[in-house]
Amino acid sequence: MFSTTVTGEQFLTAFIETIQMVGISLFFGSLLGVPIGILLVITRPGGILENKAAYTLLNPVINIVRSLPFIILLVAIIPLTRAIVSTSIGTAAAIVPLIIYIAPYIGRLVENSLLEVNPGILEAAESMGSTPFQVIWHFLLPEAFASLILSLTTATIGLIGATAMAGTVGGGGVGDLAIVYGYQRFDTVVVVATVIILIILVQGIQSLGNTLARKIRRH
Amino acid sequence: MIEIRNVHKTFTRKGIAIEALKGISLKVEKGDIFGVIGYSGAGKSTLIRLVNYLERPTEGQVLVDGHDLGAYSVKELRAAKKNIGMIFQHFNLLESKKVFDNVAIPLVLLKKSKEEIRKRVTELLEFVGLSDKAGSYPNELSGGQKQRVGIARALASNPSILLCDEATSALDPQTTRSILQLLKRVNAEYNITVMIITHEMSVIQEICNKVAVMEEGRIIEQGSVLDVFGHPQHLTTQNFVKTVIQNTITPSVQKTIKTGTGSRICKLNFVGATTTEPLLYEMIRANEVKVNILFANTTEIQEKTLGTVIIQLDGEGAEMNKAVSFLKSNGVDVEEVDPHVLDYSNR
């Protein structure tokens, strides 16, 4: 009843692949997403570098990317993926769409975190004659830090969900294992094991994020 | 030092233009503690934000040290702001940074060396009396302590002007006093010109030497605090003055006043030097009048005394006229009052 053809080694490989995909796309996604979030906040009406053109251009672009389900985005940008990593299958090929999927999402989350910062702080910054860079670096980001950690936690968990679909392009990972072995070969053990692994992973990441944010906020 | 020349400021919200300032002109001299008082919505917050160009005038000029802020480039304006410190009603400290780092921020922005920053911050924390709180976070401090941090931070870059935006409005009366005393020391020891906006007349009374009263985007009265408190012209000013100086007859005394022909009631305002002369005595000696004091009060403003006496005069009409002109010629502000319309409503 509890028999399965999938080995522990396969589970380990899949787990590492998931971590790889999440880690790499989170890194590059943040590299793109955090500046996007900052741009949204500073160019918005009343922002420190108010720029109607930039804001009205950026805003819908983010919405467009965000409105695509990941599975469709994955297929739709295959030419772009091929251009960047010169292949359209495998883990590397899954990472490109994952980045494009998560960057605007992070952008929105960062935007929300930064908007929570007390406008009085920004007024104080301006009264000190800060440059826009100084406002962002010395006031905006430190004040939003705890909230940014929670935003990135949410983004990471979103990414874990998206990696399950990476199997479509042969990306591997825990989710792929569950679909290929568990669903298509009726291997209940794999499905259950995958679910448990994912629950533990998500719980762990959320707790880590909460702990970090609490530590920063304590003072 | 600070000169505001015929400034208008119009905000447009959702297509509706609101004129917050309607032609403001004022001058703050070096060393002044200049107070601007008004009810909320009078435009005083907008006014103080003009001085460091957090708000730009729609029309008119703002000059600091003779330079038109509007003529500066963005970079020059940033440099000019380092010369103008500002403190806020809600302190606006960075919750994520310790007291030391909050005070250090303006110096970090100026790219000062670590050693220089340490020295200056230590000195400032000592000045505001918070040397032991350098390692605390703002949320561990009381309101008064937070404002002290705000003051230290505002002074870090060695400004010559300090702007106070309702700096004591969130504090209790006792803390307010201690913060005002600190601002007085800032003015005296560092020779910093202070501009304060407030809705509390007691703040003006306690530390300002000059005051401007605002209403609906206009300055309705301005001058030395002593003059404005001694001779408030406008109804709004009179109401503000009443909040700190009692200058009307108490109701029980009012009931006992018998009026008729040959009796006049006068309110006498003594300002400064006139308070030290025995004028009432001399008036009685020189004229055939009887004097009954219905009310008397003295207040100290700017180390000068402001006295209010309400007297009832009895006697011949001509003698009374002579008595009143004697007081007037000696610099006493004499105001005839009808005891039945004395106003108590705003006390």
Give the burial class of B54: count Cβ atoms within 10 A of its Cβ; 0-12 exposed, 13-18 middle, 19 or more buried: middle
- Verify whether the Cβ–Cβ distance B54 to A127 is below 8 Å: yes
Nearest-Cα distance to chain B for A121, in Å, is 5
- Verify whether the Cβ–Cβ distance B96 to A142 is below 8 Å: yes
For chain A, list residues with pLDDT below 50: 1
Spatial contact of A111 and A136, defined as CB atoms under 8 Å apart? no
Q: Which residues contact A214 (CB under 8 A, 6 or more apart)?
A: A146
Q: pLDDT band for position B304 (50/70/90)? A: confident
Q: Residues of B257-279 as b/e, b for ≥16 C-beta within 10 angstroms?
A: beeeeebbbbbbbbbbebeeeeb
Note the pLDDT of residue B346: 39
- Verify whether the Cβ–Cβ distance B92 to A124 is below 8 Å: yes
CB-CB: which of B52, B97, B140 is closest to A127? B52
Q: pLDDT band for position B200 (50/70/90)? A: very high
Of B45-49, B114-118, B158-162, B297-301, the poorest mean pLDDT is in: B297-301
CB-CB: which of A126, A127, A143 is closest to B94? A143
Note the pLDDT of residue B153: 97
Q: At A109, phi and psi to the nearest 5?
A: -65, -45
Q: pLDDT band for position B198 (50/70/90)? A: very high
Note the pLDDT of residue B345: 40
- Verify whether the Cβ–Cβ distance A216 to B52 is below 8 Å: no
Spatial contact of A168 and A75, defined as CB atoms under 8 Å apart? yes
Q: Is any Cβ of chain A less than 8 angstroms from the Cβ of B158?
A: no
Window 135-154 of B, Cβ < 8 Å to A: 137, 139-140
Q: Which residues contact A203 (CB under 8 A, 6 or more apart)?
A: none
Note the pLDDT of residue B344: 43
How large is the average pLDDT for residues B152-160?
Answer: 96
Q: At B257, phi and psi to the nearest 5?
A: -70, 125
- Verify whether the Cβ–Cβ distance A219 to B96 is below 8 Å: yes
pLDDT at B179 over 90: yes
Interfacial residues of A (vs B; Cβ cutoff 8 Å) = 118, 120-121, 123-124, 126-131, 134, 138-139, 142-143, 145-146, 216, 219
What gap in Å lies between CA A92 and CA B341, rounded to an integer? 89
> What string of H, E and C letters represents the secondary structure of B89-129?
CCCCCCCCCCHHHHHHHHHHHCCCCHHHHHHHHHHHHHHCC
Of B70-74, B152-156, B223-227, the poorest mean pLDDT is in: B223-227
Note the pLDDT of residue B334: 86
Note the pLDDT of residue B342: 53
pTM given for the model: 0.85
Q: What is the pLDDT of residues A82-112, one digit of tens each?
A: 999 888 888 888 899 999 999 999 999 999 9
CB–CB contacts below 8 A, A to B: 57
CB-CB: which of A121, A134, A143 is closest to B109? A134
Note the pLDDT of residue A96: 92
The H or E element containing residue A41 is: helix A8-43
Q: Which residue of B has its CA nearest to A215?
A: B96
- Verify whether the Cβ–Cβ distance A143 to B52 is below 8 Å: no
> What string of H, E and C letters represents the secondary structure of B126-187?
HHCCCHHHCCCCHHHCCHHHHHHHHHHHHHCCCCCEEEEECCCCCCCHHHHHHHHHHHHHHH
Report chain B's mean pLDDT, rounded to a whole number. 89
Residues of B in contact with A219 (CB under 8 A): 95-96, 98, 137, 139-140
ipTM: 0.84
Pairing of strands B33-38, B304-315: unpaired
Residues of A in contact with B106 (CB under 8 A): 128
Spatial contact of B77 and B64, defined as CB atoms under 8 Å apart? no
Nearest to B26 by CA among B11, B57, B5, B43: B5
Note the pLDDT of residue B229: 85
Q: What is the pLDDT of residues B256-272, one digit of tens each?
A: 777 666 688 888 888 77
Best mutation target among B52, B95, B98, B102 (most A Cβ atoms within 10 Å) is B95
Q: At B268, phi and psi to the nearest 5?
A: -110, 125
Q: What is the pLDDT of residues A1-19, one digit of tens each?
A: 466 777 888 889 889 999 9
Q: What is the pLDDT of residues B80-121, one digit of tens each?
A: 999 999 999 999 999 999 999 999 999 999 999 999 999 999
What gap in Å lies between CA B271 and CA A31, rounded to an integer? 68
